[in-house]
Chains A and B, each alone.
Chain A
Amino acid sequence: DVKVTQSSRYLVKRTGEKVFLECVQDMDHENMFWYRQDPGLGLRLIYFSYDVKMKEKGDIPEGYSVSREKKERFSLILESASTNQTSMYLCASSWDSTTTDTQYFGPGTRLTVL
């Protein structure tokens, strides 16, 4: 079974703090993704990575950055957290970057920025 884990289920931070969300997958998947989920908006893609040290902007990258130093780990960074970044963050991974492959999701991190 594919296993995608996220470092925290719940996180509370203050405005202006630097926040790291970590995601690890154990299936040697090439692609990894970060989404945020907000009521009434569904899931929106923030960033994705198709290889180590490679990254691509998604639909809503503003205010976020990412890091992928190892194939199994993909980090989402909020350089200076703001209240409008309070949301559920979901990480996903998929096998192959050459075709559309099923994405498998982690349990999510519910981030609250005060």
Chain B
Amino acid sequence: AQKVTQAQTEISVVEKEDVTLDCVYETRDTTYYLFWYKQPPSGELVFLIRRNSFDEQNEISGRYSWNFQKSTSSFNFTITASQVVDSAVYFCALSEFVGANNLFFGTGTRLTVIP
């Protein structure tokens, strides 16, 4: 069975601090995809990143970086020098390789960046 755990329900940081959002997943598949989405107060889920299970290279995009470690089944997300606009709920999700129907979401982490 597939499962995504985001143990941090809520996190508050002061602006300019770095923050890491944790994501731990479970799957029996050897091939799978991992995603991060951002949900700002407006409600729309915004796609951030998609990573397949064969690519463990860490990725950096501006202030965002992702650390994928198959050995610990984790796909953590770090925001460097956080800003108030980063305040949102962040979801980690997992999907099997074949079939577009099975996207499993974690319960989300609410990040509040305090000015």
Contact = CB atoms under 8 A, between A and B. Distances in A.
A98 B43 contact: no
B107 A100 contact: no
B42 interface: yes
Contacts, number: 67
A8 interface: no
B101 A96 contact: no
Nearest to B4: A42
Interface stretch (A18-26, A76-84, A102-110): A102-110
A94 B103 CA distance: 11
Given A43-B105, A58-B101, A99-B100, A104 B42 contact: no
Given A31-B100, A99-B100, A100-B98, A108 B107 contact: no
Interface stretch (B56-64, B68-76, B89-97): B89-97
Contacts of A44: 105
A105 B90 CA distance: 14
Which of under 10, 10 to 19, 20 to 34, or 35 or more describes the interface residues of B?
20 to 34
B55 interface: no
B100 A100 contact: yes
A101 B107 contact: no
Contact of A106 (B35, B44, B99): B44
A100 B105 contact: no
A103 B107 contact: no
A99 B99 CA distance: 5
Contact of B107 (A9, A41, A97, A104): A41
A38 B13 CA distance: 25
B26 to A, nearest CB: 15
A107 B42 contact: yes
Given A45-B103, A100-B103, 9 more contacts: A30-B100, A42-B106, A88-B43, A92-B45, A96-B100, A97-B99, A99-B97, A99-B98, A100-B100
Interface in B40-59: 42-47, 50
30 contacts: A9-B43, A33-B101, A33-B103, A42-B105, A42-B108, A43-B45, A43-B91, A45-B102, A50-B100, A56-B101, A58-B101, A88-B43, A97-B99, A97-B100, A99-B98, A100-B33, A100-B95, A100-B96, A100-B98, A100-B99, A102-B35, A104-B47, A105-B37, A105-B45, A105-B46, A105-B47, A107-B43, A107-B44, A108-B44, A110-B43
